[in-house]
């Protein structure tokens, strides 16, 4: 049975944000290691273990005889997570015998990349030079494609009959929890229905969930469904359990899709026990959906902007107690949050030019307070080259501005929203990362800005650093209650807030950054596809590789 606390953390409709992709590998102009004929190449793919420098072999292609320009037929199928940096290594060998030991074959070259780099490239096709035993070792071309069975959405509706009465003064308040069976036999919660109060014959609303979340592309994989009686204190009472799979469910309403709810303890105690009620499938429909990768493959770019809090509450940057202190051995929380998010998103921005802004400081030469200044000191160009460029600009700003205040978010949100408002054709989506140490001083204006931004191709990530009370920030994260301003609710949930302290601890900085990235970025693909769906924007056909231009960002001006 699922842990009750896990059930309460699971919001209705949530699903596992993963998919599978096929990687196809080709090479051009490989080294020729054979004297009489040409090389007989094989490609080996490795996946790096998070938090280590170790790459483990993931798979091998077939061997193609006598060619320097192989197009390998065997695909590498791999789970894809947008919110993770999945580092890959490809090695090419000239096969000289039937031995599986790679040391007994001639090394031709290698290349490193991330899975995001492949999927974020033009047409999901990445070409890289091979490095190896010679100056020119040829090149590798890797093409990624989402597997078709990962695009399907399943829509279902269930009803219950004659459920056990669990409440002393009433009937029951039943809800269903769906679990996917994992490879190791454990179960993961992937959907929860609404609670229907005071009934033994509930009729739950129809719901939809990505098919892969229920079966991981395996129609015979077990799905465990638990029926609970809801209790206010969170100690929900189990009514019963049944198991099924998507192959069975896809048959629709029929006798085999009427399930007996079994309570294991009651069944063990009483020989006369039959069941704790019935759950019947009323409808089931499986339909293909446009996915996040469909839009990326069609040319949608993620434009990443970072905004850093330079208010005085951070402390004097020259002092070790400051949140902005530059420890030569350990990056501060601002840098760790920046790297965690930026390292993932940069793979989906083709020119790697990122606007980097600051707020809450007195800025030279006038030393007037600004809430949207450029970190690099420029008056006209906010762009930094890669995450490394943002880090350099941040360090430069610390030495030139005076930390001041107050903490205002609305100017920064409105700043990025102006550019998002100008591009509504699905070609760009803006992601704003705000890193801050304290509660905001313009909550009403910020709520207004969020409500307006929710209509635009834009998402906001807020990371709180330090030990302040961030409880008010939760008002902006619309997971449970949608943000509103003067009675107008945001049409989408576009804000994700997390306190950085939840991811600190332990000696492995890389692992904590990976956990942070997973938490704050997991919702981005669904936010993007929801925006496109609400605006009836279909993915464009895969584009041919082209050079992205600096001008595509337009020009940020304060």
Per-residue pLDDT for the chain (558 aa), expressed as one digit of tens each? 445 555 554 444 333 446 889 999 999 999 998 778 899 999 999 999 988 889 999 999 999 999 999 999 999 999 999 999 999 999 999 998 999 999 999 999 999 999 999 999 989 999 999 999 999 999 999 999 998 767 888 999 999 999 998 877 778 999 999 999 988 888 989 899 999 999 999 999 999 998 888 888 789 999 999 999 999 888 899 999 999 999 999 999 999 999 999 999 999 999 899 999 999 999 999 988 899 999 999 999 999 999 999 999 999 999 999 999 999 888 999 999 999 999 999 999 888 999 999 999 999 999 999 999 999 999 999 999 999 999 999 999 999 999 999 999 999 999 999 999 999 999 999 999 999 998 789 999 999 999 999 999 999 999 999 988 888 788 888 777 789 999 999 999 999 999 998 887 766 778 888 889 888 898 899 999 999 999 999 999 876 554 333 334 444 443
Name the 3-class secondary structure at 396: helix
How confident is the model at residue 18, as a pLDDT?
Answer: 62
Element (H, E) at 4: helix 4-9
For residue 221, what are the contacts with CB-CB under 8 A and spacing of at least 6?
A: 180, 181, 214, 215, 245, 246
Q: Which residues pair with 164 in a beta bridge?
A: none
Structure tokens at 76: 């590498």
**Residue 397 burial (10 A CB sphere; 0-12, 13-18, 19+):** buried
**Cα distances (Å, whole numbers) of residue 224 to 168, 208, 247, 261, 267:** 28, 17, 14, 11, 18
What's the CA gap between 236 and 177, in Å, rounded? Answer: 12
Name the 3-class secondary structure at 418: helix
Q: Which CATH architecture has domain 297-542?
A: 3-Layer(aba) Sandwich (3.40)
Element (H, E) at 112: strand 106-114
Identical topology for domains 19-149 and 152-288: yes
Structure tokens at 440: 């905001």
C-alpha torsion angle, residues 133, 134, 135, 139 (rounded to 10): -80
Q: Which residues pair with 278 in a beta bridge?
A: 161, 260
Structure tokens at 525: 């693909």
Structure tokens at 112: 């490193």
What's the CA gap between 281 and 180, in Å, rounded? Answer: 18
How confident is the model at residue 14, as a pLDDT?
Answer: 38
CATH number of 19-149: 2.60.40.150
**Cα distances (Å, whole numbers) of residue 52 to 49, 125, 336, 346:** 6, 27, 17, 21
What's the CA gap between 78 and 378, in Å, rounded? Answer: 43
How confident is the model at residue 557, as a pLDDT?
Answer: 41
For the beta carbon of residue 532, count every other beta carbon within 10 angstroms: 20
How confident is the model at residue 544, as a pLDDT?
Answer: 59
Sign of CA dihedral 454, 457, 459, 460: negative
Extents of the domains making up the chain: 19-149, 152-288, 297-542
pTM for the whole structure: 0.78
How confident is the model at residue 213, as a pLDDT?
Answer: 84
Sole residue written with tokens 């950054």:
513
Structure tokens at 149: 């069975």
| Domain 152-288 bears CATH identifier 3.20.20.210 | no
Beta pairing class for 361-363 and 368-370: antiparallel
């Amino acid at each position: 049975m699922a842990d009750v606390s896990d059930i309460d953390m699971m919001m209705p409709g949530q699903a596992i944000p993963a998919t599978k992709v096929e990687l196809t590998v080709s090479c051009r102009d490989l080294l020729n290691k054979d004297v009489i004929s040409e090389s007989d190449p094989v490609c080996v793919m490795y996946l790096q273990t998070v938090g280590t420098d170790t790459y483990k072999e993931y798979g091998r292609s077939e061997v193609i005889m006598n060619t320097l320009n192989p197009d390998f037929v065997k695909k590498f199928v791999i789970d894809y997570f947008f919110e993770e940096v999945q580092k890959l290594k490809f090695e090419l060998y000239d096969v000289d015998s039937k031995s599986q030991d790679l040391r007994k074959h001639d090394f031709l070259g290698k290349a490193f990349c991330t899975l995001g780099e492949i999927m974020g490239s033009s047409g999901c096709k990445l070409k890289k030079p091979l490095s190896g035993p010679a100056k020119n070792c040829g090149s590798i071309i890797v093409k990624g494609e989402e597997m078709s069975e990962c695009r399907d959405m399943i829509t279902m509706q269930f009803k219950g009959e004659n459920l056990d009465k669990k409440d002393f003064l009433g009937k029951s308040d039943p809800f269903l929890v769906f679990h996917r069976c994992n490879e190791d036999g454990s179960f993961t919660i992937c959907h929860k229905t609404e609670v229907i109060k005071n009934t033994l014959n509930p009729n739950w609303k129809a719901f939809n969930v990505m098919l892969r979340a229920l079966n991981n592309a395996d129609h015979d994989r077990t799905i465990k469904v638990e029926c609970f009686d809801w209790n206010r204190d969170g100690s929900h009472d189990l009514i019963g359990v049944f198991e099924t799979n998507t192959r069975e469910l896809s048959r629709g309403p029929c006798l085999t899709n009427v399930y007996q709810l079994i309570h294991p303890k009651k069944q063990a105690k009483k020989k006369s026990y039959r069941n704790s009620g019935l759950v019947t499938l009323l409808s089931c429909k499986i339909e293909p959906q446009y996915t996040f990768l469909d839009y990326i493959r069609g040319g949608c770019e993620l434009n990443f902007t970072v905004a850093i809090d330079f208010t005085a509450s951070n402390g004097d940057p020259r002092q070790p107690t400051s949140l902005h202190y530059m420890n030569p051995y350990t990056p501060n929380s601002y840098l760790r949050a920046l790297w965690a998010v930026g390292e993932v998103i940069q793979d989906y921005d083709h020119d790697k030019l990122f606007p980097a802004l600051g707020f809450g400081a007195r800025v030279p030469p006038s030393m007037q307070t600004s809430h949207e200044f450029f970190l690099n000191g420029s008056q006209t160009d906010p762009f930094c080259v890669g995450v490394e460029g943002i880090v350099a600009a941040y360090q430069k700003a610390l030495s030139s501005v005076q930390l001041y205040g107050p903490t205002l978010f609305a100017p920064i949100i409105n700043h990025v929203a102006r550019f998002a408002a100008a591009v509504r054709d699905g070609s760009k989506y803006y992601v704003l990362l705000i890193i801050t140490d304290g509660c905001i001083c313009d909550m009403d204006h910020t709520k207004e800005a969020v409500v307006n931004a929710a209509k635009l191709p834009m998402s906001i990530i807020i990371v709180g650093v330090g030990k302040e009370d961030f409880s008010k920030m939760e008002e902006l994260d619309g997971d449970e209650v949608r943000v509103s301003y003067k009675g107008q609710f945001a049409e989408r949930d576009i804000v994700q807030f997390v306190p950085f302290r939840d991811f600190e601890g332990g000696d492995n900085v890389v692992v904590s950054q990976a956990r942070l990235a997973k938490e704050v970025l997991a919702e981005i693909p669904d936010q993007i596809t929801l925006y496109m769906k609400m605006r009836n924007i279909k993915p464009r056909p895969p584009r041919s590789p082209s050079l992205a231009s600096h001008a595509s960002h337009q020009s940020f001006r304060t």
